[in-house]
Amino acid sequence: MSQLSRARPRARVLSIFTLALGAVSVVGLGACTSSGARGDTTAPQPNVKIAATDETVVTEPVVTQPGVTATTAAALAAVADTLPTATSVQAASSTTAASPQAGTDAVVLTEAEVAEFEQQLDEIDQLLTGVNADLSQD
Amino acid sequence: MTTPRRSAKSMLMIGAVVVTAGAALVVPSSAQAATPSSATTDELPARLKRACLRIPNLQIRTDNFITRLNGDASTRGSLLWLQAQIDDANAKGRTQLATVLENRLAVRTQTLEVLTHRQERLANLIERCRNHGVDV
């Protein structure tokens, strides 16, 4: 009887601990999923955020301050000309969303394609080595 | 009616099930971290470029061999030179040497054909390199 009474609270504590452990693992997984963490070992790439606002880029003439040379002001103005406008940013954003390869004419590379490419070259290399050995007999 | 012992047992079983379910969900996401797919994908352009850069030398070697095999009777190793050697061996009555040289000529004739095909293949590979933005 005394053994039974001692075992009962111990089992209850154990079961509560097990339940808590399960709950913690589920909550931890939920946190990982919501944060987007995937456990990649590669260095994290910064997210490219393109703000598609109605603001236009200020291209007002740069006032040359004392100590700022005219060359610097001209350079600033040149940089300002190259900054994207709201329209171009929206266009770029929609293009990027449509296809990640947009903007480059290069065909998408696959592991199989590169391996096959390398294999063909190895084969030709081997053939040439064999021909060389054959010709050296003469 | 359930005994307290059985109730504790069932609680333990429920807990074990929850832990197992949690682990089953967590383990695949950790396994994903070990997948080297992104590293492999990143190195593909470099591998392709390296392969493409091998092509010019392979072309030179192929062209040289084709030129040599197509050479005249005075070019050592050419098909005509080998034929001249066969004729000479036959004239001297060295039949075994003539047979060996004839066999060699047969192989070399096929070699010339294979090399011509490889030359075309190399040209196609260069085209593929250009399609991927690699100038050779």
CB contact under 8 A, A111 and B44: yes
**Rounded CA gap, B68 and B62, in Å?**
10
The partner residue sitting opposite A114, judged by closest CB among B44, B55, B111, is B44
Residue B20 or A96, more confident: B20
pLDDT at A109: 86
Q: For residue A135, what is the nearest residue in chain B, using CA coordinates?
A: B77
* Residue B118 pLDDT level (bands cut at 50, 70, 90): very high
pTM of the full structure: 0.50
- CB neighbours (10 Å) of residue A84? 12
pLDDT at A24: 66
Q: For residue A27, what is the nearest residue in chain B, using CA coordinates?
A: B22
Q: What is the mean pLDDT of residues B76-102?
A: 98
Q: What is the mean pLDDT of residues B37-41?
A: 66
Distance from CA of A47 to the nearest CA of B (A): 17
Q: How much is the ipTM here?
A: 0.71
**Rounded CA gap, B73 and B85, in Å?**
9
CB contact under 8 A, A107 and B26: no
Residue spans of alpha helices (H) in chain A: 2-35, 70-82, 86-98, 111-135
For residues B84-104, one letter each, b for 16 or more C-beta atoms within 10 angstroms of the residue's C-beta and e for the rest, the string is ebbeebeeeeeeeebeebeeb
Which positions ≥6 away from A20 have C-beta within 8 Å?
Answer: none
pLDDT at A108: 81
**Contact, B3 vs A4, CB < 8 A?**
no
- Both tokens assigned to A48: 């490219």
